[in-house]
Structure 1
Amino acid sequence: MLKTLLSIITICTIAIFGLWIYESMTTKETSGNPYSDTIPSKMGKPDSSEYMFTERFPYTEEEILEKTGYGPKTGEGFNSSNMIASIADFQINQPGEEQGTYIEGIPEGHTVKVELIERTKELEEIDKINEVTYEEGEKGLVATLPDKRDQLYSLSAEMINGNGKVIDTYVGIVYVPPEPEVNAEVSTDKTSYSPTDTMDFRITNFGPSRLSYGARFIIQSYGNKAWKTVEGPEAVVAMEYILLPKESTIHTVKLESYDLEKGKHRIIKRLGVSDTEVEEELAATFIVE
């Protein structure tokens, strides 16, 4: 009984301590005013990247084969019995990374030709970057991406029998995005509110990077020629949101939780590029009447 009670007390203490740490991390920025006097509501623009491909690639497997001019995927050479990792139809990778397919070993009397070709958004060929022929027994059928960004490539593996005939093909599209940056916009559903209204706060990701952000919103009031942070809800759930490229999301904000006076205010959101240290702040201004 005593052990159980001590365990419960320990768990509660850890939970409270964890919440205190999280709150400290997310509220320490409200001491004074570390925010700029001018924070934009928009950064970048839609379709700022040449290709703007995201997790949702516009072509099917059949269309990729047709547009790139490769033969059919028959399953005669690459199949479940010898595949370790196949070429994905579409993937986003970084410059200099090694990409390809891995098998148990090229069958006796066969070879595999791997090609890396730079292509347009419509998958038309621009330049053949690399071509390698792998011999029987080899397992890693790969190519290394060039040190260039905002590029689109096709990566193919063709298995060829002893008669020189292509018996099976794997082909996928690889996109190397630009340098990670926040291209996004924040906005509110109205320009003016009452102190007890609920605000619809919209975040739009122009892409091409995925954006991540936390649950906390910072609201500031303008007075005496300066912005001052308004105290909000004391406890905020520690969670991370992910916003995919070319998508928008709306969060509801209860203004009565901030006890706002009449005047000019702004709501600030810090957005980061997923899996990087790139962060930016955007803000939307509004009036309380």
Structure 2
Amino acid sequence: MKKIILFALFALFVTGCNSGTAGTDHVEKEEKEITIPNDLPQQLKEIDKSKVNTAIQFESKSFLDLMDSVFFENRDQEGYQRTTHRVYKAGDQFEIDPDGLSPTARYEVEFLKFNYEERKFETIIEKTVERQDPSYFITIPDEENVAYYIEQVAIGENDEIRKQEYHQIFVPYNEINARIDLDKTHYYPEEKMTVTLTNLGTIELGTGYGVILDKWNGENWEQFEFEQMAPAIGILLRNEGTFSQDVELSQLEKGTYRVIQTLTEDDRISASFTIE
């Protein structure tokens, strides 16, 4: 009886050792997951909340109404025409061209900065531009996150008002930031991939339909010849605005790819995915 028990214990010991060895062999034979380097970030940088949370809302109706109410406090709004509503950069110039005036007429021009805290406009420049004068250029000051109004009134020979215009000039923070996302990271060629771009900065981003792809060749990323419509800029994204599009993957073979979004000449972001 003792021999039978000893034999059974020996058999269990041998079986356990073989089982442990087999498990180890299986782990050693498993392929290690390869991490492919991607030198382009998915999000350009951290969100600068100090700028995003205080940025002028130059497309907000309430903000525009506020400025108009201050500007027209001592003016007859019905007599004015808004001619310009544009984003400028510091150093840009705004032209006052007198060529359209009659020979004896002039422009009375006032360049005003909006003081948001005090809810008032501050005069920066006052200028008279005669018909015979060359174009007068207003240089936008070197300051960000500012709104300006330019008042331009055409005056006739007898000091009668011919035309009254005002121009809205906005110089937002020059804060460029964005993120690109995919709905998945693994696809099959018969599937569609959804690409979403989100503007995380303070200025508008241009985008549109069509994508640019790179493929990993084992050593480097190289541009993949993707037969589709050429990427076209036709959509402007404001802060926190998003744009999504579906991309057909039937032309893609098995491998690792990345979608690239160009933000500026020097800044790009990307999101990588694999085709099974």
Of 114, 118, 121, the residue aligned with 1:119 is 114
Check 1:208–1:229 CA distance in 2 against 1; reply closer, same or farther (3 A cut): same
- Asked if 1:267 is matched to 2:268, the reply is no
Check 1:240–1:199 CA distance in 2 against 1; reply closer, same or farther (3 A cut): same
Give structure 1 stretches of 5+ with no counterpart.
1-34, 79-86
Greater share of residues in helix:
2
Aligned partner letter, 1:258: L
State the Cα distance separating 1:65 from its structure 2 match: 4.1
Structure 2 partner of 1:216? 212
State the Cα distance separating 1:52 from its structure 2 match: 5.3
For 1:85-105, what per-residue CA distance to the aligned partner results, in whole angstroms no more than 9, with x for missing partners?
xx7330122323332443433
Structure 1: how far apart are the matches of 2:212 and 2:131? Answer: 57
Aligned partner letter, 1:251: Q
State TM-score, norm by structure 1: 0.60
Structure 1: how far apart are the matches of 2:117 and 2:271? Answer: 37
Aligned partner letter, 1:43: L
**Which aligned pairs between 1:23-34 and structure 2 lie closer than 5 A?**
none
Check 1:185–1:61 CA distance in 2 against 1; reply closer, same or farther (3 A cut): closer
What percent of counterpart residues are identical? 17
State the Cα distance separating 1:191 from its structure 2 match: 4.6
Preserved contact between residue 213 and residue 223 of structure 2 (Cα < 8 Å) = no
- Asked if 1:105 is matched to 2:101, the reply is yes
Of 52, 60, 71, the residue aligned with 1:68 is 71
Structure 2 partner of 1:130? 125
State the Cα distance separating 1:157 from its structure 2 match: 1.5
Structure 1 partner of 2:44? 43
Structure 1 partner of 2:268? 281
Aligned partner letter, 2:236: L
State the Cα distance separating 1:50 from its structure 2 match: 2.0
Preserved contact between residue 83 and residue 167 of structure 2 (Cα < 8 Å) = yes
Structure 2: how far apart are the matches of 1:178 and 1:151? Answer: 8
Preserved contact between residue 44 and residue 268 of structure 2 (Cα < 8 Å) = no
Structure 2: how far apart are the matches of 1:142 and 1:230? Answer: 47
State the Cα distance separating 1:208 from its structure 2 match: 0.4
Aligned partner letter, 2:197: I
Preserved contact between residue 88 and residue 170 of structure 2 (Cα < 8 Å) = yes
Structure 2: how far apart are the matches of 1:242 and 1:218? Answer: 23
Structure 2: how far apart are the matches of 1:198 and 1:65? Answer: 47
- Asked if 1:248 is matched to 2:242, the reply is yes
Aligned partner letter, 1:68: F
Structure 1: how far apart are the matches of 2:207 and 2:38? Answer: 24
Check 1:188–1:61 CA distance in 2 against 1; reply closer, same or farther (3 A cut): closer
State the Cα distance separating 1:40 from its structure 2 match: 2.0
Structure 2 partner of 1:13? none
Structure 1: how far apart are the matches of 2:199 and 2:42? Answer: 12
Question: Tell me, what secondary structure is at the counterpart of 1:67?
Answer: helix
Aligned partner letter, 1:171: Y
Check 1:208–1:227 CA distance in 2 against 1; reply closer, same or farther (3 A cut): farther
Question: Tell me, what secondary structure is at the counterpart of 1:89?
Answer: strand
Aligned partner letter, 1:88: T
Check 1:200–1:220 CA distance in 2 against 1; reply closer, same or farther (3 A cut): farther
Query: Bigger CA drift: 115-124 or 248-257?
Result: 115-124
Preserved contact between residue 42 and residue 282 of structure 1 (Cα < 8 Å) = yes
Preserved contact between residue 51 and residue 150 of structure 1 (Cα < 8 Å) = yes
Structure 2: how far apart are the matches of 1:88 and 1:280? Answer: 34
For 1:199-245, what per-residue CA distance to the aligned partner results, in whole angstroms no more than 9, with x for missing partners?
11112234404335874222448xxxx77548855545445324413
Which structure: larger Rg?
2
Structure 1 partner of 2:144? 149
Structure 2 partner of 1:32? none
Preserved contact between residue 205 and residue 244 of structure 1 (Cα < 8 Å) = no
Give structure 2 stretches of 5+ with no counterpart.
1-35
Check 1:236–1:89 CA distance in 2 against 1; reply closer, same or farther (3 A cut): same
Structure 2 partner of 1:88? 83
